[in-house]
Structure 1
Amino acid sequence: MHALEIVWDPIKFLDLGFFKLHFYSVMWIVAFILGFYVTKRIYRNENQSDESLDSIFIYSVIGIMLGARLGHVIFYQPELITEDFFSIFLPFKFKGGFEFTGFQGLASHGAAIAMIISMYLYNKKVLKKTVLWILDRVVVAVALGAVFVRIGNFINSEIIGKYTGTDFGVVFKQLGETAPRHPSQLYEAFFYVFVFLILFFTYWRTKKSQQQGFLFGLFLVLLWTVRFFVEFSKEAQVEERADWLLNTGQLLSIPFILIGLYFMFIYKPKTKEA
């Protein structure tokens, strides 16, 4: 092993006898708990009730997890619809024998779309302000949560980077690897920390937080720009698309960036916020 080469061979779960606690699942739990704490601070600053905070947590968890899973199936693994349908919604594999897999195969693009939909439903049923008012505030927490999701991907040795062709990189031993790859998951996690800090600072220290849609737009631009450029260091998740000029993740990121720019610089609310 060379000085700049790291052999990555971690345990992925704790075997509790009756249950395997996967660290990837733990990272999602950490993401939601920290997200809840950040949102709680923001909601109290906005004089919102604890009941509305509890509700947004429930809507977020269900919406993001369901959307992330459906996004992965639709964009990356559509064959599951016909080959192993129930594995889409349950943490089990049925094809080729019953097996507990945990919740694997989650796509951030699907999670983003589901977050918007779930916040629309939450606003309609609970808060009754505007969807953008909610999105401008929850994206701060979502950016922080994204850091831990990518760390979970690294623990799982999934969404791996391309071979570096040098002594620098990570050898994913559990995949039978012997050559170093880019730790793309950690690249993303590192830059998402700065996305969170920028959003956090913008909300608490600037007047831009009062410009409806700006924080939501800033989130979309920052997060998906990071995703777009880090994708250059990743292996294609769908082998048949490996020779595309831009991969699936990049193509899906472009519309989010454009929508973000629209809300930052063009969008003007038609009515005043209630």
Structure 2
Amino acid sequence: MHLLQIVWDPSKGIDLGFFTLHFYSLMWIVAFILGFYIMKRIYKNEGQTEESLDSLFIYSVLGIMLGARLGHVIFYQPELISEDFFSIFLPFKFKGGFEFTGFQGLASHGAAIAMIISMYLYNKKILHKSVLWILDRVVIPVSLGAVFVRIGNFINSEIIGEYTNSDYGVVFKQLGESQPRHPAQLYEAFCYVFVFLALYYFYWKTKKGEQRGFLFGLFLLLLWTV
């Protein structure tokens, strides 16, 4: 056992008896709750109504979850389309017996694409502003939400880094490994904190939030940098 080496073999969730609350799902819930309160403050500052905020939350949750799920299925698990179709959209497994599984398998790039589409639809149906207006603002809570999603990936031993080729690192025991890797998920989560702080600062402390497309563009730039 080395001081700078962690053998990572956590519980996947909290057993409530009738189902298991997965920590990964809990991280998504935390992300949505924090995102709602951040946007509530932003909408209050912008003079937007609570009704439009509620609609934003619905569009965001449906868009992100549907996009994340479809992104995972299309890119990583396409066999579900023919083998267990309803498990794509429902938190249950039907093949081989009925079982509550939660929404396992969510792709962040699918969520990102769906978020842009859902914001376009939200703006067209509800907000009636420039779509960049809403994108400039939602990227602030999105960047914070990404922190918790990556923590969830770490808990699930997903999106792992390269081998460190040293005694330092994390051994992902649940993957059957014995050599330490870089905890890439935590590196990304740490970087997303700074992305959030940068966007938050430019919106609240400068006039850049009024410059259409600036925050969204900065978000994309920092995202690619991370």
Q: Equivalent residue for 2:183?
A: 183
Output the amino acid matched with 2:104. Answer: Q
What residue number does 2:205 align with?
Answer: 205
Paired AA for residue 188 in structure 2:
E
How far apart in 2 are the matches of 1:86 and 1:163?
37
1:40 equivalent to 2:40? Answer yes
Q: Which residue of 1 aligns with 2:17?
A: 17
1:33-74 Cα deviation digits (max 9, x unpaired): 011111111111101111111110111001001001111122
Partner Cα distance (2:164, 2:93) in 1? 33
Counterpart AA for 1:43: Y
Unpaired runs of at least 5, structure 1 = 227-274
2:99 & 2:165 partners in 1: Cα distance? 36
Is the CA contact 2:19–2:100 (under 8 Å) kept in the aligned structure 1?
A: no
Corresponding position of 1:192: 192
2:2 alignment counterpart: 2
Structure 1 pair 97/160, CA: closer, same or farther in 2 (3 Å)? farther
The letter for the 2-side match of 1:205 is K
C-alpha separation between the residues in 2 aligned to 1:161 and 1:96?
Answer: 33
Task: Specify the alignment match of 1:150 in structure 2.
Answer: 150
Task: Give the C-alpha shift of residue 78 in structure 1.
Answer: 2.2
1:214 paired residue number: 214
Question: Residues 18-167 of structure 1 correspond to what in structure 2 (within 5 A)?
Answer: 18-167=18-167
C-alpha root-mean-square deviation of aligned residues, in Å?
1.3
The AA in structure 2 aligned to 1:121 is L
Render the CA deviation track for 1:178-207: whole Å, top value 9, x for unaligned: 211111110110100001011101111122
Q: Structure 1 residue 174: deviation in Å?
A: 2.1
Structure 1 position 96, deviation (Å):
4.0
Q: Which letter does structure 1 place at the counterpart of 2:47? A: N
- Aligned with 1:7: secondary structure? strand
Query: What is residue 244 of structure 1 aligned with on the other side?
Result: none
**Structure 2 match to 1:271:** none
Alignment coverage as a number of residue pairs: 226
Give the match's secondary structure for 2:21: strand
Residue 87 of structure 1, CA deviation: 2.0
Q: Secondary structure at the match of 2:6?
A: strand
Among all aligned residue pairs of Structure 1 and Structure 2, give the percentage whose two residues are the same amino acid: 83
Q: Distance in 2 between matches of 1:101 and 1:19?
A: 8
2:54 and 2:2 mapped to 1: Cα distance? 50
| Structure 2: distance between partners of 1:184 and 1:46 | 37
Hey, what's the Cα distance between the residues in 2 that align with 1:188 and 1:206?
A: 26
TM-score (norm 1): 0.79
Q: Which ranges in structure 2 are unaligned for 5 or more consecutive residues? A: none
TM-score by length of 2: 0.95
Counterpart residue identity of residue 90, structure 2: L
CA–CA separation in structure 2 for the residues paired with 1:119 and 1:91: 25
The letter for the 2-side match of 1:92 is: F
* Aligned 1:208-247 pairs, distance under 5 A: 208-226=208-226
Deviations 1:230-274 (A, max 9, x none): xxxxxxxxxxxxxxxxxxxxxxxxxxxxxxxxxxxxxxxxxxxxx
Q: 1:68-114 CA distances to partner (integer Å, 9 max, x unpaired)?
A: 11111222222322233222112223334443322121111111111
The residue type equivalent to 1:199 in the other structure is L
Following the alignment from structure 1 to structure 2, what is the Cα–Cα distance between the partners of residues 47 and 177? 53
